[in-house]
Each structure stands twice: as C-alpha cells, then as structure tokens.
C-alpha cells in the first residue's frame, strides 16, 4: 500500500480524535493562491522560473481540437481550472505538477512551444479548429488575431495554487500523484512517469524501466506487437514495471493492477539515492534480459499474442494475461533455460504454445475480468508446470 503521510508526533498521553488527526495533517500543507496572466506564465516558463520537466512533455496529449476550444474559452473569458505548482529552491522557482495541457496549449498558440514528442518546434503556431461557439475562429492563428484580441488573450488570468516549499514532502507527492492520476486522457503509465519522479529515487526507477524496455529481445517479443495506443501511453515501460512488480511483490497484489504497480514503484522510489535500495537493479536487469532472450528465441513475436478463435494456433496482437502468465511462469526455472541450446528452445516453444492453447489456460485468460489474484496465480502455475515438465525436473 502507498506510504501514509507522517503526522506530527503525538504524546502517549494523548488520545486524539479522527478530526484532530486530520487537522494536524492538514496544517502540514502550506499553500497560497496567485492570480497570474497567461503572458506572465509564459515569461516564467521561458525564463526558467517555472520548470516543466522533460518527462512531462510526453504527456501533452490534447488534440488540436481540444487545444483550440481552450483558446476559444480564454478569448470568451470563460472560467478555466487552476494550475498547480510546487515552490522549490532558495530562489522560489516553481515546478509544474498540474496544468501541462493548458499551459502547453497557450504556448503552442503563441508559437512558443517546443515539444519533440508532438513534432512541435518553436515558431510553429497552432491553427484553431473545431471551435463550436465562435466558429469564425476556425482556421485562425495567433498572428491573424487583431491587436485587441491578442491583448485580451495575453491578459487572460488563471489561478495558480502554490504548494509552498515548507509543506510536508509526503503531501507534495500525494498531491502530485492525485492531480496527475485524475486526467482521463492520460494512461496509468504516463501519470506514473510524472508523479513518481518527485520522490527521492523516482528518476532512477522510471529511467530503469524505460532503459530495459529498449532492449532488443523485449522489443521483439513485446514492443513490436503493441498497438499504437499502447505505445502512445508509454506502456512498453509500463509492462516492464508490471513484470518487476509481480516478480518481486506478487503476494501484495489483490485486484487493482495499476494501484499495485504504483505501490511497488513508490516503495522503491522512496528510498533515497544515498541509501542502499532493496531493489537490486543489476540483478533485476540480468533476470529481465535472460527472460526475454529465452522467450524471443523460443516463441519470438508470438510470445504474448492471442490464440485464434478455435484455439489451434497463436496469432497476432498482445494479451496482458499471456504476458503475465508466461514471463512469471518461467521464473522458477530460468536458471535451467539456455537460449543458446536450440533443441531446448524448440521444446520450450512447443511447451509454451501448447499450454497457452489449452482449455485450462483459456479459462483463466480469455475475456474480461481475469485480473483476480486467483486467476493470475492459475495462469502462472499452468505455464510453470509446462516448463517443469519440458525440463523433466
């Protein structure tokens, strides 16, 4: 489970009520509200007074239609949600934690956005489309607005909620996590990649996941068959984290996979860089590389694909249930598997295929609602038994 916020020490003589505990925790969140124009916000971003982390650029996901309607809202002086920042450092610079879509949209319309993930360069102007209140705005760019409308947009104000640097660090993390996890347009991995990096060891964990997701055997077995939607959601690194979480902490899994992965990553990320982490990066990388080397040799791009309708062969696509069952099922026997032994790999490929096409595996992997602990354990056990029998152990 996620680590709770530490409340101030309570004397053993005290017996605080729930309300008192809540109140004591609440006072640790020191905030203030500012009303800032978008033009001032843009200046702060360009001068480095407002930091937008590079990882955040990847989750600018608004379509041009969504961006256009936001600009339309500003021009019509309609209310917009606040932006949240964390105050940091002696100079009091701000770190953006919520509001990327709105701020990036304004910068894009002004021609001041650089985002390599969206192929947007400084000097490129957003052309408005799908404006449904003032349809005459469609097709318009910033330089085509008259001076009065340009000034109105520059002077559009937005509320900035500042989490002061004196605030409790755990509360900063939880606010960051909840604000970014709430966006319906973001995948769980996109949100995770943003909010986990605020923790002491967060960059190391997330960078590690991204690095192993770029290894050739993982790409061949997993990434190459993922859909564009999966890739846009950074799910290649997400599936790497899924593997590590289940491999190391499956006993903690109950039902909600994303919360389970978040808790696993958070526990590692909370361990400061100066401490010895319980997660052995070298050992885990070695196991990861061998797992996907073996699978790439034995079943290649059919390692996690769906069976056909008749369950007579494996076809295309990607099944997360097959991914879990296969990658975790072979773990107890990994030391007995040798990717350079062509005969063994041929037998392994046959054993895995037969197991995945079996009626038993179908029962715990076909259709929705198969993410219970019992069914997960059953998938892993079926694959494990097939590998054990193949090895004659």
DSSP letters spanning 228-257? HHHHHTTHHHHHHHHHHHHHHHGGG--S-H
* 169, 177, 296, 356 from 312: Cα distances, Å: 54, 44, 21, 10
**pLDDT at res. 236:** 85
C-beta neighbour count of 3 within 10 angstroms: 13
Structure-block tokens of residue 78 = 């309609």
Q: How far apart are CA 387 and CA 383, in angstroms?
A: 6
Which residue carries 């790497």 as its tokens?
A: 240
Q: Which two tokens stand for residue 9?
A: 């020490």
- List per-block mean pLDDT (blocks of 10 residues) for the chain, which spans 393 residues: 53 66 64 87 92 75 89 93 82 82 93 89 94 93 96 93 68 63 61 76 90 94 76 75 95 88 89 69 96 96 92 90 96 97 97 96 86 93 96 89
Note whether 93 and 51 are within 8 A (CB). yes
pLDDT attached to residue 101? 87
Coil, strand, or helix at residue 279?
Answer: coil
Instruction: List the one residue out of 332, 321, 330 whose CA is nearest residue 352.
Output: 330
Token couple for 299: 């079943």
Q: From the CB of residue 284, how many other CB atoms can be counted at a distance below 10 Å?
A: 16
pLDDT of residue 11: 46
- Give the dihedral of Cα atoms 104, 110, 112, 117; nearest 10 deg: 40
């Amino acid at each position: 489970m996620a680590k709770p916020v530490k409340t101030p020490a309570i004397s053993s003589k005290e017996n605080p009520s729930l309300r008192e505990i809540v109140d004591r925790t609440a006072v640790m969140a020191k905030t203030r509200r500012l009303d800032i124009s978008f033009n001032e916000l843009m200046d702060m971003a360009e001068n480095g007074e407002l930091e937008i982390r590079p990882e955040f650029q990847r989750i600018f996901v608004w379509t041009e239609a969504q961006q256009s309607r936001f600009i339309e809202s500003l021009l019509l002086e309609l209310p917009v949600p606040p932006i949240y920042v964390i105050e940091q450092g002696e100079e009091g610079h701000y770190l953006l934690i919520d509001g990327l879509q709105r701020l990036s949209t304004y910068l894009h319309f002004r021609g001041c956005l650089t985002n390599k993930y969206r192929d947007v360069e400084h000097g490129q102007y957003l052309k408005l489309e799908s404006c449904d209140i003032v349809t005459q705005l469609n097709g318009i760019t910033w330089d085509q607005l008259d001076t009065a409308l340009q000034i109105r947009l520059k002077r559009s104000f937005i509320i900035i909620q500042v989490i002061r640097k004196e605030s409790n660090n755990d509360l900063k993390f939880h606010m960051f996590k909840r604000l970014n996890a709430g966006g319906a347009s973001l995948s769980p991995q996109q949100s995770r990649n943003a909010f986990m990096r605020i923790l002491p060891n967060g960059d190391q964990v997330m960078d590690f996941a991204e690095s192993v997701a770029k290894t050739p055997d993982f790409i061949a077995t997993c990434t190459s068959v993922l859909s564009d939607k999966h890739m846009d959601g950074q799910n290649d690194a997400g599936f790497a984290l899924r593997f590590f979480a289940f491999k190391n902490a499956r006993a903690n899994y109950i039902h909600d996979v994303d919360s389970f992965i978040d808790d696993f990553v958070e526990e590692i990320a909370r361990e400061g860089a100066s401490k010895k982490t319980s997660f052995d990066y070298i050992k885990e990388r070695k196991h990861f590389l061998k797992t996907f080397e073996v699978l790439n040799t034995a079943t290649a791009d059919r390692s996690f694909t769906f069976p056909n309708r008749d369950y007579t062969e494996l076809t295309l696509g990607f099944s997360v249930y097959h991914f879990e069952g296969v990658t975790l099922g072979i773990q107890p026997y990994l030391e007995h598997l040798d990717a350079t032994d062509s005969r063994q790999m041929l037998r392994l490929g046959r054993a895995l295929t037969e197991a995945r096409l079996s009626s038993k595996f179908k029962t715990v992997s076909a259709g929705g609602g198969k993410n219970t602990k019992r069914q997960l354990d059953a998938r892993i056990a079926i694959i494990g038994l097939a590998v054990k029998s193949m090895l004659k152990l």
